[in-house]
Every structure is written in C-alpha cells, then in structure tokens.
C-alpha cells in the first residue's frame, strides 16, 4: 500500500493573480448585485480566480439565486461554486460593492484574505483502487486532475491494491481523518453509518440519464434505512473464460454451458492437456474472485445467504446441494493451490495455460493482449453457467461503490466530482478497455439524445463497442456476449439488497470458508453449512440491533 503523499492545501494567504491586480474595477462591475432582493432566496458563492490552486484568489459572494447561472458567462476567468442557499435579504448593489471593493483592494495589495473553509473547499482527496486494467488509472488520474483544475480544486488521487481497500477504510474511520472520497469494490454497505447520504446526487443523475442498472441500485441503497450510502459509476460483467483449443479437443468447442459440464470436462482435460494440473480454475480462498465464484455456485443451485426480505436462509437443501457439488468438482478438477489463491492467481494460471477455465472479467485477457502471450488466440468467453434447475446467474465481478465520509470537510465538492465521473462514463469505459460498464447506461448515450431515449442510446453504444472491440480483439466480436450480460448478472446480497450484514459476510469470507471446508473434507458439507449459518445469523443480528437490516422473523 503506497503511503498518502503530503499535499499543500489552498493557503488562507492568497496571492493575487495578475488579472485581478490589473483590473479590480472590471471584476466588480461584472460581479455585482443589480438591485435589492428583499427576502428572496439567495446563494452564497465561492469565487476562485485564475491560476494554480495554491495561488488562486478566493472570495465569498452573496447573490440572488436567479443570477447564480450568469457569473460564469460574465467573468469566464473565475470559477464559481454554490456553497449554500439562504432565504434572507441579499446585499444591495451598493452594500455589496462596498465590501467587495475592500476585498479586491486587499487582494491587489497582497495582504491576507481570510475566507472561511477556503482551505477545505480548495482540495479533494480520493482513495482509488489500483485498477486490474492499468490503462484505466492512466486515464483516471489525469482526468481527475483536469477536472480539479477547471473547478478550482486541488485533487489528490491515491491508489491502493484491492486487499487494502477495506483495511484502509477501517483505519480512516477510526482516525476520523483521511480521504474525502473512498472507492469500494465489493460492498460499501458495512460502512453505511460512517458515510453521508448521496440521494441528491443519484436523483440528479437519474433526471439526466434515467435509472441506474438494478444491480447497481441494490448495491448502493439500503431500503431498510432508506439511505443512498454509495454511488456506483461502473460495474463489471463476470463471464467464464475458457481455453478454446482444449475444450474443442474434448468435444465442447463453445465451452461449458452448465456447472455439471465442469465436472464432466475436468477428467477429459487432464487427458488431452496433462500440463494443466488445475483443469478448472475456480478459487476457494479468501480473495475477491473466490468470493464471487462461490456465490455464483450457491445461487445457481437455488441457495442464498438471505431472502429478499433480509431473513437468513443459508441453512437449506439448496445450499447443501451446492456444497456437495463443489466437493465433487474439487476432487476431479482442482488442487490445493486454489485454497491460497489471491486476486491475480486465476488470471496468472490461465495466462500460463495451467488451467482451462476460470470465472473472471476481461482483465486477464487484456493482460494477454498487452503482453502478446501464447494463450491469446485461445481466449474465449461464456455467459454465466446454469445450475441443475436452470438458474443462470453470476455476480458482477466488481463494481464501484463511491462513498463520501461524514468526517470530510469537502462533501459538496465530492458530490460534484462524482456527478462528473458518471458524466464521463464513455471515457471511463474506453479508458478501462471495456472492463468498466456504466452503471447509468444513459450516461453513454450519443450527445444530444433526448432524456427519454438516453438509456436506449447508451445501451446501443455499449453494444457497438463489444461487437467491434476497439482494442484489437480477434475476431472483433469476441466480447459481444458482454453486451448481453446484464440479464444474467446480479448483485451481492441477491435476492435482496447489499445491506451491511451482507457487506460484513463478504469482507469476512464466511461463504468462501464454508465452501473450502466442505470441498476439502475439513468438515462435512452439512456441518460447514450449519457453522456458516450460525455466523450469518450472528452478523445479521448485530446489524439488526443497529436498526440497519430488516428481517429476522423467518431466519433458518
């Protein structure tokens, strides 16, 4: 984990820019209040002048609300941001100019100008995951800096690996200090009580782009507390990756279709490709890919942690069936190596041609492309596999859950940034080489599309990228199935919402441990299930006591 670099904040001793020093009269003649407004709603604006953030003149303006939109047009060299709205009598032009002349004269002369909260309002600190497709970080970091430059904000972006996302959040909450915005990849719900409500941000985005995809909504909103605890700008499909040549040799040229196909194929793969010691590369360890994979198996066998109302239902015949299946799959198609895999292990195994099937996003494929690996021509993809009763579901591979901490002094700026990030959904998807899919499909719409048509237009644009990969897939439509992945993709917490209890279940690997114990024989499948169910009930009861999770009346 890289340490957070020390950055200077906007100084309260603001140095005047040349433009302000030369033309204070022009500043005041164009930024003024033309007449009294008498008890009408007004705005308090933060005006920041041209120049780098550390040397930008700053002043506060009280103006009529109906003039707020005009300032950028009147004085394009300055940035204006609404700090708050007030229902009180605004200054007259004369009284405003009297104070503003004094402030501008002070700027021109060079003494200190004290602006309340200017230090906080001039900077934004973001903690960001180190993307599995490195090209994305090369897009995101300069984009964030450019956004800050345009809006008078000194933006700091710090990156950590996936394994450090939750520990870093825990540390910052304990210290009540750190970043303003924190990006989660799994679930942010376990931190709901420490973050602000982003309902206003989501509402404004829905007016522009329509509703987010359902799995994003269920991953960032708690219906029990009615709190929008996070914002998702992107989600990632989780297809199967299969080795075309090997699966063709065993008579399945299009790869597996059902989970039973994996059990049937494993012994045959060993025969035709003896170098593949792990024919089926599904992890059973405490890592993100394993956490997703075992949930897929659980759901497709009809089981789940909770029902739609938040009752714990892990203790079920369906869960037992999923565990017994995994025990069989482990015996014929895996080795002990999968018990200690990290988030990169299945990618590395497939790219080294040590396994013929993994559950993963396209990050491993992009790595093979970038490095021109021998496996590249055999990289192909399948939709989610079907369970014994035909259920076909896969968790999103990862999805963003951006939160703004309650301790942040820059909450309004953070909200503005998150809106801008969703606005940039096309660039985000391309910057990630089609790894990131927009959570708001409407944000990928063609420019000028009427709001009612934006979701349809955005979906068409996304499909066009997948059907003709701009990053050199051969054939060009190799990723076409991703455009149709939404119907078989779901959220953590299915069939309910991603509540804080589900978040803790995910972060503490209760389900992966259950599957690993059952698969290896460390515990009988039923005993592993009962142990995990007991732990689940304890976790859910803890969050129910905090009145953050519903259910309980029908726990099993």
Which residues lie closer than 8 Å to 428 by C-beta, 6 or more apart?
Answer: 136, 139, 140, 233, 234, 421, 436, 438
Rounded distance, CA 210 to CA 455, Å? 7
Rounded distance, CA 555 to CA 369, Å? 48
Which of 451, 456, 457, 458 has the alpha carbon at shortest distance from 208?
451
Q: Chunked in runs of 10, what are the mean pLDDT values of the chain (556 residues)? A: 36 30 32 35 54 44 57 54 49 39 38 33 91 97 97 97 93 96 92 97 98 97 97 98 98 98 98 96 95 98 98 98 99 97 95 97 96 98 97 96 98 98 98 98 97 97 99 98 98 96 95 98 99 98 96 93
Count of C-beta atoms within a 10 Å radius of residue 460: 16
Query: Which CATH number is 240-396+488-545 given?
Result: 3.40.190.10
Order of strands, edge to edge, in the sheet holding 123-129? Answer: 154-160, 123-129, 181-184, 401-404
Tokens linked to 141: 């970091």
Tokens linked to 144: 């964030």
pLDDT of residue 275: 94
CATH architecture of 121-236+398-465: 3-Layer(aba) Sandwich (3.40)
CA distances from 17 to 14, 53, 105, 333 (A): 9, 11, 13, 68
Order of strands, edge to edge, in the sheet holding 357-359? Answer: 280-281, 357-359, 240-243, 379-382
pLDDT of residue 108: 38
Q: Report the residue count for the chain.
A: 556
Asked if 121-236+398-465 and 240-396+488-545 have one fold, the answer is: yes
pLDDT of residue 15: 31
pLDDT of residue 80: 55
CB distance 158 to 5 below 8 Å: yes
Rounded distance, CA 20 to CA 40, Å? 30
CA distances from 495 to 303, 364, 382, 490, 503 (A): 10, 29, 23, 9, 14
Runs of H (alpha helix) within 450-524: 454-467, 500-507, 510-520
Q: Where are the domains of the chain?
A: 18-118, 121-236+398-465, 240-396+488-545
Coil, strand or helix: which one is 517? helix
Question: Prior bond to 194 cis, omega within 30?
Answer: no
Which of 240, 335, 244 has the alpha carbon at shortest distance from 292?
240
């Amino acid at each position: 984990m890289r340490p957070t670099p020390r950055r200077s904040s906007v100084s309260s001793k603001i140095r005047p820019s040349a433009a302000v020093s030369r033309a204070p009269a022009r500043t005041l003649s164009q930024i003024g209040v033309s007449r009294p407004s008498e008890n009408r709603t007004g705005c308090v604006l933060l005006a920041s002048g041209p120049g780098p953030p550390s040397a930008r003149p700053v002043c506060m303006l009280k103006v009529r609300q109906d003039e707020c939109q005009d300032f950028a047009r009147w004085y394009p060299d300055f940035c204006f941001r609404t700090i708050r709205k007030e229902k009180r009598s605004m200054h007259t032009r004369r009284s405003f100019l009297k104070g503003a002349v004094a402030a501008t004269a002070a700027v021109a002369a060079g003494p200190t100008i004290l602006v309340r909260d200017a230090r906080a309002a001039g900077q934004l600190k973001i903690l960001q995951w180190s993307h599995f497709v490195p090209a994305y970080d090369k897009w995101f970091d300069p984009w964030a800096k450019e956004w800050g430059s345009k809006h008078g904000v000194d933006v700091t972006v710090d990156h950590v690996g996936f394994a450090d996302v939750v520990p870093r959040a825990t540390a910052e909450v304990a210290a009540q200090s750190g970043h303003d915005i924190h990006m989660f990849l799994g679930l942010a719900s376990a931190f709901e009580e420490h973050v602000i409500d982003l309902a206003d941000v989501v509402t404004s985005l829905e007016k522009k782009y329509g509703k987010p995809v359902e799995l994003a909504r269920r991953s960032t909103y708690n219906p029990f507390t009615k709190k929008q605890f996070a914002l998702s700008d992107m989600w990632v499909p989780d297809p199967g990756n299969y080795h075309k040549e090997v699966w063709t040799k065993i008579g399945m040229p299009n790869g597996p279709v059902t989970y039973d196909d994996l059990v049937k194929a494993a012994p045959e793969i060993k025969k035709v490709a003896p170098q593949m010691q792990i024919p089926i590369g599904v992890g059973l360890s405490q890592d993100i890919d394993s956490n997703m994979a075992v949930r897929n198996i659980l759901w497709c066998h009809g089981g789940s942690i909770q029902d739609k109302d938040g009752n714990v239902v892990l203790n079920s015949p369906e869960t037992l069936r999923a565990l017994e299946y995994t025990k069989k799959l482990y015996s014929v198609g895996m080795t002990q190596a999968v018990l200690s895999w990290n988030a990169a292990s299945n990618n590395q195994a497939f790219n080294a041609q040590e396994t013929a099937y993994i559950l993963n996003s396209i990050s491993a494929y992009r790595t093979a492309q970038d490095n021109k690996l021998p496996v590249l021509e055999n990289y192909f993809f399948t939709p989610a596999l079907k369970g014994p009763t035909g259920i076909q579901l896969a968790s999103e591979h990862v999805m963003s859950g951006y939160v703004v901490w309650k301790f942040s002094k820059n909450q309004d700026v953070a909200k503005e940034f998150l809106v801008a990030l969703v606005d940039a959904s096309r660039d985000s998807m391309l910057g990630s080489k089609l790894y990131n899919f927009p959570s708001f499909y409407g944000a990928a719409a063609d420019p000028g599309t009427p709001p009612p048509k934006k979701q349809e237009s955005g979906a068409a644009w996304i499909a066009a990228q997948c059907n003709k990969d701009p990053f050199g897939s051969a054939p060009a439509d190799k990723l076409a199935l991703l455009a149709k992945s939404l119907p078989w993709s779901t959220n953590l917490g299915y069939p309910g919402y991603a509540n804080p209890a589900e978040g803790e279940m995910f972060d503490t690997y209760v389900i992966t441990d259950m599957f690993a114990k059952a698969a290896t024989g460390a515990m009988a499948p039923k005993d592993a299930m009962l142990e995990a169910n007991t732990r689940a009930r304890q976790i859910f009861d803890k969050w129910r006591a905090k009145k953050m999770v519903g259910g309980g009346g029908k726990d099993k």
